[in-house]
Amino acid sequence: MIIVMNNTATEEQIENVVSRIKKKGLEATISKGIEKTLVGAVGDERLLDPELLQALPGVEQALHIVKPYKIVAREWHKEDSVIDMSGHPIGGKHIQIISGPCSVETTDQMEKSAKAVKAAGVKLMRGGAFKPRTSPYSFQGVGFDGLDMFRKAADNEGLPIVTELLDIRHLDKFLEQKVDVIQIGTRSMQNFELLREVGKVNIPIILKRGMSATISEWLMAAEYIAAGGNHNIIFCERGIRTFETYYRNVLDVTAIPVLKKETHLPVIIDPSHSGGKAWMVAALSRAGIAAGADGLLVEMHPNPCEAWCDADQAINPDELKILMNELSAIAKILGRTISD
């Protein structure tokens, strides 16, 4: 860490900073320039809080040199991590598409959805039994009954399931139902207690980006999970909030290569929540795979017009089949495959 002293800093203030550094077990070096004095902290700089140091008299700025996230950083793990999702690899050369309805509704709807997902060549099925909604009066999901429906419909087609965990108290039920992949939604990205709990299980975690989260905040959220021992983390870019109102969210395609540079973990996109309209899904999906994403989280409903949640952004089974063919062609050009 580098601590920049302001040009009026006294020797006593400099020594105070040095003392604080040494109390944490780090070494301190002093470099005096014409206008500024720099104090370098050598050692595990994560033990130092830059905000506390910046509050000291005479300090202008405190800057981390080493990234605050370590386990998820490519700096410490050069090769791409490949994560096994119940027999289906994601990462490296392997691309995975995850599809299904936004929410679980009825047994018939889930059975039709599972058949459509399987027929399109998709290997994992998504569906929400619990739905976080902006309005408390909107449909909130059918709960544990929906999870039962989902599990049975997916099992009939041999599909692993991906579903969102909202509450720590639901985790035991998720484990009982043998949920294959747990999704942490955008509104929960910084629910640190929830992140700590899923860090204790050995199940792949899809971590969606918060609506206004920076890349650094997103990576640090993943570090909470990894620090608990679970390194099976998949980042999901789902669109960020900006000033634009024409579409639901802005798909930050730039985040894909940035994350690929910063982390060894897989990165996927959610083209459905990004645009918020079904007619945008194919274009955003193609863009994501072309930019290097390791997969997609796509909403598909057997009859989108009748969907109980996010009807505007769900594609139908025929559109999913066409999309899979297009994505396979793009993956082949890039030397990758839509994996089994």
Rg, Å, the chain Cα set:
23
What domains are there in the chain, each with its CATH number? 2-63 (3.30.70.1140), 74-338 (3.20.20.70)
Exposure b/e, 164-177, CB count within 10 A at least 16 = b? bbbeeebbebbeeb
H-type alpha helices, the chain: 11-23, 50-54, 107-119, 144-156, 171-176, 192-198, 215-227, 255-262, 271-275, 278-290, 317-333
Q: Could you give the CA distance from residue 95 to residue 53 in angstroms, rounded to a whole number?
A: 44
**Given CA atoms 18, 23, 24, 25 in this order, what sign does their dihedral have?**
positive
Closest CA to 115 of 163, 149, 154, 162: 154
User: What 3-state DSSP class applies to 183?
Assistant: strand
SS3 at position 190: coil
Instruction: Please write the tens of the pLDDT for every residue from 151-178.
Output: 999 999 999 999 999 999 999 999 999 9
How many other C-beta atoms are found inside a 10 Å radius of the C-beta of residue 324?
20
Question: How far lies 333's CA from each of 289, 290, 337, in Å?
Answer: 11, 9, 9
For the record, the structure tokens of 134 come out as 């902006």
pLDDT score recorded for residue 99: 98
> For 186-244, how does the pLDDT look when each residue is reduced to its tens digit (9 = 90+)?
999 999 999 999 999 999 999 999 999 999 999 999 999 999 999 999 999 999 999 99
**CA distance linking residue 18 with residue 286, whole number of Å:** 53
Q: Which residues of 84-103 are buried (b: 16+ CB within 10 A; e: fewer)?
A: ebbebbbbbebbbbbbbbbb
Question: Across the strands, what pairs with 296?
Answer: 97, 269
- SS3 for 261-319 is HHECCCEEECHHHHHCCHHHHHHHHHHHHHCCCCEEEEEECCCHHHCCCCHHHCECHHH
Which pLDDT score is estimated for 140?
Answer: 67
Q: Pairing mode, if any, of strands 124-126 and 2-5? A: unpaired
Please name which of 162, 121, 157 lies closest in space to residue 340, comparing C-alpha atoms: 121
Taking 70 as the pLDDT cut, the residues of the chain under it are 137, 140
239: left (phi over 0), alpha (psi -120 to 50) or beta: left
Structure token digits, residue 116: 């459509």
Q: What is the pTM of this model?
A: 0.85
pLDDT of residue 35: 75
Q: What is the pLDDT of residue 137?
A: 67
